[in-house]
Amino acid sequence: MTGTEGSVSKEVPVVFHGEPGGGLAVAFWATLKRDLVLLLRRRSEVMNPLVFFAIVITLFPIGISPDPQLLTAIAPGLLWVAALLAALLSLDSLFRADYDDGSLEQLLLTPQPLAVLALAKVAVHWLLTGLPLALMAPLLGVMLALPAGSYGVLAVSLALGSASLSLIGAIGAALTVGLSRGGVLLSLLVLPLYIPVLIFGAGAVQAAIFGDGVMAHLAILGALLALALILAPLAIAASLRISING
């Protein structure tokens, strides 16, 4: 303990602050950086969905049949469903730690708009879950005899789609953060909203295998992402306020 503790009397008088002005970008980056550092220090949480994804895809050829034709036919749906479940698996912890240690109340009490700060948290979730899943998927596609020409489409569709999944899922995570066992409820809440993303995501890969045009599917995935990007942060902010109010 140092002798300087509590030496406060020399400070200037208390000043009042006007309406909050800038600082939003600073707050956004600080939240992004803090969450990245936090997750990178708890690597097991980052690795869990990736390991889950790899295990599920590895088991299918063993469990069904090594027949390449059969595997090619089911590969797009399989890869997409496994990636979707892997992303869902990691959602529960999105706001949980913040809720438990009191940082969530502090986040709600900053003069900055909560929606933007929530977006920073979702961005971290995508960077450390959705993006790695998208990059990993072509590698696992090899195991399912996915034609080489569709690797790019698979990665792009997953990258676009998983961003929507993170945004939509975060609404569910925000709604269930106050519940001690919100995991099942979270899945029930967000799975119906995941279905359009799944249909067009898997559809894009399917189209790439058959040599059809993939742009339509990717464009719809992009449109879904744009919509989620605009609406989800507001819904997340409102959900967090409801959860904290409970």
Stretch that binds another protein, among 31-39, 86-94, 131-139, 172-180 (CB under 8 A): 31-39
Stretch that binds another protein, among 27-35, 53-61, 139-147, 150-158 (CB under 8 A): 27-35
Q: From the CB of 97, what's the least distance to another protein, in Å?
A: 8
Binding mask 172-201 for another protein (x = CB under 8 A): ------------------------------
Token digits of residue 142: 């090899």
Q: What angle do CA 130, 134, 140 make, to 5 degrees?
A: 130
Q: Is 11 in the site for another protein (CB under 8 A)?
A: yes
Cα→Cα distances 176→1, 124, 172, 240, Å: 42, 19, 6, 9
User: Would you say 82 and 143 are in contact if contact means Cβ atoms under 8 Å apart?
Assistant: no
| φ, ψ for residue 17, nearest 5 deg | -105, 140
Q: Is 14 in the site for another protein (CB under 8 A)?
A: yes
How far, in Å, CA of 46 to CA of 39, rounded? 7
Q: Is 210 in the site for another protein (CB under 8 A)?
A: no
Burial class, 34, CB count within 10 angstroms (exposed 0-12 / middle 13-18 / buried 19+) = middle
Instruction: State the number of CA atoms in the 13 A half-sphere of 3 facing the CB.
Output: 0
Q: Is 17 in the site for another protein (CB under 8 A)?
A: yes
User: Would you say 137 and 155 are in contact if contact means Cβ atoms under 8 Å apart?
Assistant: yes
3-state secondary structure of 169: helix
Please give the distance of CA 10 from its chain centroid, rounded to a whole number: 47
Query: Judged by CB, which is closer to another protein: 85, or 108?
Result: 108
Binding mask 33-62 for another protein (x = CB under 8 A): -x--xx--xx--------------------
* DSSP letter, residue 129: I
Stretch that binds another protein, among 18-26, 62-70, 173-181, 225-233 (CB under 8 A): 18-26
Query: Judged by CB, which is closer to another protein: 2, or 180?
Result: 2
Query: Judged by CB, which is closer to another protein: 114, or 232?
Result: 114
Binding mask 87-116 for another protein (x = CB under 8 A): ----------x--xxxx-xxxxxxxx----
Q: Is 66 in the site for another protein (CB under 8 A)?
A: no
Q: Which residues bind another protein (CB under 8 A)?
A: 1-2, 4-9, 11-23, 26-27, 29-31, 34, 37-38, 41-42, 97, 100-103, 105-112, 241, 244-245
